[in-house]
Structure 1
Amino acid sequence: MKKLFVTAVVIFTMISCAEKTKIPVYAWTGGPGEATDQELMATFKNYKEKGIDGLMYNGGHNPETYKRVGKLVKDAGMEFHTWVPTMVQGDNPKLPQDLYAINRNGESAFDKPAYVSYYKFLCPNKEGSFTFLSELYGNIAAVEEVDGIHLDYIRFPDVILAEGLWDKYGLVMNEEYPVADYCYCDKCVGDFKEQSGIDIKEVEDPSKVQEWKQFRYDLITNIVNRLSKVVHDKGKKINAAVFPGPSNAMKMVRQEWNKWDLDAFYPMNYNDFYLKGPEWVGEITKEEVESVKGEKPIFSGLFICPNPENKTKENDPENHGLLPSEIETAIRTSMENGAAGICLFTPERMKPEHWKAFDKAIHADYSKK
């Protein structure tokens, strides 16, 4: 009997140790489209079986959608965070056009968005923007099945594009250009002049004025922290997809996210966009962990190549990403540099070879570096 007891203890210990070695894994995904509950549940159970612990789920603005999908995700054994874009908002009767950001040329992001047609960014300095967003996120956070709100596009448009995107848009962006430099609406210009004494419209090169950059970092920080209170008051978590760094994030999209009052950060460490190899993911993760002094969890966002066999033939970096042979390096270096876990963009892009390498990497013990 004693031998049986000892054997049982050993087996239990082995199982417990195996469970402890799995790293936390999240994934960006969306829907539900026309999928039935049965189809959704089959997908979610598959994700869970493959090692995914929680979803950042994009399903529009309707709380009822998140109630329906959230129940299925929770029944499948995963966390459910609603992935809802923040400053990017399309044509909406609740949003008057004067809430949209203005570039240095005086053009509205609503009428003449930079780069792509959906880049219709709100001005974070307008109270109407906050009112709209607080109602949106507050209503979704009130849904019982929702574990947290996941912010995205919580920034200004890319005043500097990632170098891997330059060829796609036919640009060389080694400086800030007026068409992508926001926000020069009357309120932002007036508030900055009152605060600093500088009329930014009279400055020959606004990109050289550090106070002007800081003013806009602070605008994003302020609206994030106000939205954080809205969500926390509902008893839910709030986190965000952010640009890497935050050194890159500050330079490119005015995100000084290490000052944000959030529960976790999901930096999009998409190495191909920066013309870097998979080892860069670990290098930038180190900066990210240090930027929050290890006090907030960092989940390293990994961009997956959807068609590995065609990667070298693809001109569009949106079709690049981590190959199956690279995913272990990205995961390992993220974890060795202090990440709390990883987040996949997206599970739908993962091929069988990805999943095989992924399974091995997420069950490694990174505490023995």
Structure 2
Amino acid sequence: MYSIKISLLAVISCLMVACGEATDTKVKAYGWQGEGGKTTEQTLQADFSEWKTHGLDGICYNAGHDPIKHQRAAKVAKANGLEYHAWIPAMLQGGMDSTLYGVNRLGQSAYDTQAYVSYYKFLCPNKEEVYQFLSSLYGKIADIPEVDYVHLDYIRFVDVILARGLWDKYGLVMNEEYPVADYCYCDKCVADFKAASGIDIKSVEDPSTCKEWAQFRCDLITKLVNRLADDIHAKGKKVSAAVFPGPDSYAKKMVRQEWNKWNIDAFFPMNYNDFYLEGAEWVGRVTEEGVKSVNGEKPVYSGLFICHDWQNKADIKDPEGHGLLPSEIETAIRGSMEAGAAGVCLFTPHSMTNEHWKTFEKAIRRSYVSN
């Protein structure tokens, strides 16, 4: 009888340990957040402490080019136990020398004429001066002790094909690559491509059919990323990047991002399902592609787009006001984790409502088995 009691106690003890392990399980989670005009150390403290309470482990924070603002935010993040990724756009820059901007197939410089929106002033990744500018910029941020990662964004070409969910917004039907959004045809890119391939791309009737030309531009982005990564790594810091989904299904075709070839430390694909007219279950499918593309050797954090005004989503015309409903959070997280993601990232924590947070906090504290 005594031995039976001991055995029962052992079983109960094991069950308690198992339950404890399940409770302690948590999906790694991040958020993207930008600096506001009224941001102070106090507002950062309020935000970061709240995000930590809800289960976030790190923040990708955009404070522009300002090392002082990044240091302020990074210090507050570290004080709240958050990993800090200094989020800074790369190719999207204003106020630079006009000769450094990309040129579309019509011969128009992004300095003077922009595709889609006026802020789409994209630099050419094939200019040494562009690399030098970015290397200096990211180097200054990497020198901040509290910065853990430099987080690259807009490290790409202009979207030669927009996500399907954005077509109506801009009054477009993008069944092909249109010249106005097809970059870069500057003299250097054209000459370098001809030297490498023997092809004069300007003499090709439909450049979008030239696979060598598409690959050449993917390689330009990859080369730039890897040079910048080497510089940042040399300073003892890591590199992450916000990228388009895929890479094969979307990123390569739309913005020339072959990101599985990048020598960086973490990928944050923007798996914004509504932009692609897909349901929440699509997030898992596209995450699986990304994880497989890097052979599961580097962490992939699935980016989730949140609908803040979710109760009125059906009445919101602008797709950039759409996103995941509270009822879809668990599906997106489960799909991502079962596909092999290392975690998730919210765009943005400020868009999360109480209903979102309730679902999110339950979903990130469950165990998932990757496929």
- Note closer, same or farther for the CA distance 1:338–1:218 as it changes in structure 2 (3 Å cut): same
Q: Would you say the 8 A contact 2:337–2:370 is kept in 1? A: no
- In the alignment, the residues of structure 2 paired with residue 127 and residue 196 of structure 1 have an alpha-carbon distance, to the nearest angstrom, of 21
Q: Would you say the 8 A contact 1:240–1:264 is kept in 2? A: yes
Q: Would you say the 8 A contact 2:22–2:366 is kept in 1? A: no
Secondary structure in structure 1 of the residue aligned to 2:168: helix
- In the alignment, the residues of structure 2 paired with residue 84 and residue 13 of structure 1 have an alpha-carbon distance, to the nearest angstrom, of 42
- In the alignment, the residues of structure 2 paired with residue 320 and residue 9 of structure 1 have an alpha-carbon distance, to the nearest angstrom, of 45
Deviation, structure 1 residue 36: 2.8
Match of 1:206 in 2: 207
Q: Would you say the 8 A contact 1:27–1:52 is kept in 2? A: yes
Secondary structure in structure 2 of the residue aligned to 1:179: helix
Match of 2:97 in 1: 96
Q: Would you say the 8 A contact 2:207–2:213 is kept in 1? A: yes
Residue 246 of structure 1 aligns with an amino acid whose one-letter code is P
- Note closer, same or farther for the CA distance 1:368–1:343 as it changes in structure 2 (3 Å cut): closer
Match of 1:273 in 2: 275
Match of 1:82 in 2: 86
Q: Is 2:143 the partner of 1:139? A: no
Encode CA deviations 1:174-227: one digit per residue, 9 max, x unaligned.
100000000000000000000111110011100000000000000000000000
Q: Is 2:62 the partner of 1:61? A: no
- In the alignment, the residues of structure 1 paired with residue 84 and residue 36 of structure 2 have an alpha-carbon distance, to the nearest angstrom, of 14
- In the alignment, the residues of structure 2 paired with residue 216 and residue 260 of structure 1 have an alpha-carbon distance, to the nearest angstrom, of 14
Query: Which of 312, 315, 332 matches 1:313?
Result: 315
- Note closer, same or farther for the CA distance 1:9–1:147 as it changes in structure 2 (3 Å cut): farther
Q: Would you say the 8 A contact 2:338–2:370 is kept in 1? A: no
Secondary structure in structure 2 of the residue aligned to 1:167: coil
Residue 270 of structure 1 aligns with an amino acid whose one-letter code is Y
Residue 24 of structure 1 aligns with an amino acid whose one-letter code is K
**For residues 245-256 of structure 1, what are the structure 2 equivalents within 5 Å?**
245-247=246-248, 248-256=250-258
Encode CA deviations 1:244-276: one digit per residue, 9 max, x unaligned.
000200010000010000101000000001000
TM-score, normalised to structure 2, is 0.94
Encode CA deviations 1:292-338: one digit per residue, 9 max, x unaligned.
11111110000000101111111110000000111110000100110
Q: Is 2:51 the partner of 1:47? A: yes
- In the alignment, the residues of structure 2 paired with residue 290 and residue 123 of structure 1 have an alpha-carbon distance, to the nearest angstrom, of 30
- In the alignment, the residues of structure 2 paired with residue 298 and residue 365 of structure 1 have an alpha-carbon distance, to the nearest angstrom, of 17
Match of 1:348 in 2: 350
- In the alignment, the residues of structure 2 paired with residue 35 and residue 255 of structure 1 have an alpha-carbon distance, to the nearest angstrom, of 33
Deviation, structure 1 residue 66: 1.0
- In the alignment, the residues of structure 1 paired with residue 112 and residue 242 of structure 2 have an alpha-carbon distance, to the nearest angstrom, of 26
RMSD of aligned alpha carbons? 1.7
Match of 2:244 in 1: 243
Match of 1:23 in 2: 27
Deviation, structure 1 residue 30: 1.5
- Note closer, same or farther for the CA distance 1:359–1:233 as it changes in structure 2 (3 Å cut): same
Q: Would you say the 8 A contact 1:32–1:69 is kept in 2? A: no
Residue 92 of structure 2 aligns with an amino acid whose one-letter code is V
Secondary structure in structure 2 of the residue aligned to 1:344: strand
Query: Which 4+ runs in 1 deviate beyond 4 A?
Result: 6-17
- In the alignment, the residues of structure 2 paired with residue 196 and residue 90 of structure 1 have an alpha-carbon distance, to the nearest angstrom, of 32
- In the alignment, the residues of structure 2 paired with residue 164 and residue 87 of structure 1 have an alpha-carbon distance, to the nearest angstrom, of 24
Number of equivalent positions: 361
Consecutive unaligned residues in structure 2, runs of 5 or more: 1-5
- In the alignment, the residues of structure 2 paired with residue 336 and residue 185 of structure 1 have an alpha-carbon distance, to the nearest angstrom, of 44
Deviation, structure 1 residue 38: 2.3
Q: Would you say the 8 A contact 1:278–1:330 is kept in 2? A: yes
Consecutive unaligned residues in structure 1, runs of 5 or more: none
Match of 1:288 in 2: 290
Encode CA deviations 1:29-59: one digit per residue, 9 max, x unaligned.
0215323322321211110000000000000
Residue 296 of structure 2 aligns with an amino acid whose one-letter code is G
Residue 154 of structure 1 aligns with an amino acid whose one-letter code is I
- In the alignment, the residues of structure 2 paired with residue 315 and residue 33 of structure 1 have an alpha-carbon distance, to the nearest angstrom, of 27
